[in-house]
Amino acid sequence: MASFNGTTPSHPGWTWELPKTMVIRLGRRELSIGRDVRPRYYETNPVIGCRPGLEKGHLEVLLFRRWLLVLSKAR
């Protein structure tokens, strides 16, 4: 029986990373939650900011200038 200890035998010192984005499906919509990695060249609200996403039908909500929530159609 295999067990998970965070390293692989073929790569000593290599550790597993947690996913940086989590996707939750709510009916016909998907909610993607992750860290905001894109540089913002405009002033953002320090608590919550909302704008249209990159694709049609997407809505981006930026929380505390760090967490990005994207509401989109389910694939």
- For the question of whether the overall pTM of this predicted structure is more than 0.75, the answer is no
Give the model's pLDDT for residue 60: 92
Quote the strand ranges of the chain, DSSP E. Answer: 7-8, 11-15, 21-26, 29-35, 48-52, 59-63, 67-73
* Domain parsing of the chain, residue ranges: 19-73
CA distances from 73 to 12, 25, 48, 54 (A): 41, 9, 22, 13
Q: Would you state the pLDDT for residue 7?
A: 46
Instruction: Kindly report, residue by residue over 9-54, the tens digit of the pLDDT.
Output: 555 555 555 567 888 898 888 999 999 888 888 888 889 999 998 8
- Range 47-63 average pLDDT: 90
> With 50 as the cut, is the pLDDT of residue 4 above it?
no
Residues β-bridged to residue 72: 30
Looking at the predicted structure, is the pLDDT value of residue 3 above 60?
A: no
- C-alpha torsion sign, points 39, 46, 21, 51: negative
